[in-house]
Amino acid sequence: MKLIVAILQPEKLEDVLQELDREEIYLKTVSNVLGCGRQKGHTEVYRGRRETGNLLKKVRLEIGVNEKYVEPTIRAIIRGAKTGAIGDGKIFVLDLAECVRIRTGERGGEAIG
């Protein structure tokens, strides 16, 4: 099992979710985060004081998947999120040691989907 974590541009979230639905990947968690990579932050000015390199708004998407869904998920995210510009984001694939469905107590691959 793997946990896929993707950091995305907020405007691309809708497209990514649509692409994931097409691959029948329905279970996900989305959160608002701040971050930056190569994309420098905006400059803000307050009463003459300049502040550069502010963190930008991003969206974090987390999906737990069984092995055979890893590549389809990655491709779906890329299809939805890619624009070609700096700031498109990143996908991290982490090993997932265990997954438990709270309602039924199921574990492992059955609990993921």
Partner 1 sequence: MINTGDTAWILISTALVMMMTAPGLAFFYGGLVRRKNVLATMMQSFFVLCLLSIQWILWGYSLAFGPDIGHFIGSLAWFGLRGVTMAPNPDYAATIPHLLFMVYQMMFAVITPALITGAFAERMKFSTYAVFTLVWATLVYDPICHWVWGAGGWLRNMGALDFAGGTVVHISSGIAALVCALVLGKRRGYGREPMSPHNLPLTILGAALLWFGWFGFNAGSALGANELAVWAFIATNTSAAAAGLTWMFIEWKVIGKPTILGGATGAVAGLVAITPAAGFVSPLSAICIGVLVSIVCYTAVAVIKLKFGYDDSLDAFGVHGVGGTVGALATGLFAQKIINSAGNNGLFFGNANLLLTQAIGAGAAMIYSIAVTFILLKILDAVMGLRVPDEEEVVGLDITQHEESAYTLLD
Q: How far is the CB of 42 from partner 1 (least distance, A)?
A: 12
Using the minimum distance from each CB to partner 1, give the nearer residue, 52 or 83: 52
Residue 51 makes contact with partner 1 by CB under 8 A: yes
When the beta carbons of 18 and 43 are compared against partner 1, the nearer one is 43
The yes or no reply on residue 33 touching partner 1 (CB under 8 A) is no
12, 81 in Cβ contact below 8 A?
Answer: yes
| Distance, CA of 107 to CA of 103 (rounded, Å) | 11
Give yes or no for residue 110 binding partner 1 (CB under 8 A): no
48 binds partner 1 (CB under 8 A): yes
- How many residues bind partner 1, per CB under 8 A? 9
Cβ distance 7 to 58 under 8 Å?
A: yes
- Does 67 interact with partner 1 (rule: CB under 8 A)? no
**Is the torsion defined by CA of 1, 3, 63, 85 positive or negative?**
negative
Q: Which is nearer to partner 1, 55 or 94 (CB)?
A: 55
Residue 54 CA neighbour count, 13 Å, CB half: 9
Q: Is 44 in the site for partner 1 (CB under 8 A)?
A: yes
Residue 77 Cα distances to 19, 31, 69, 104, angstroms = 7, 16, 12, 30
Binding interface with partner 1 (CB under 8 A): 44-51, 54
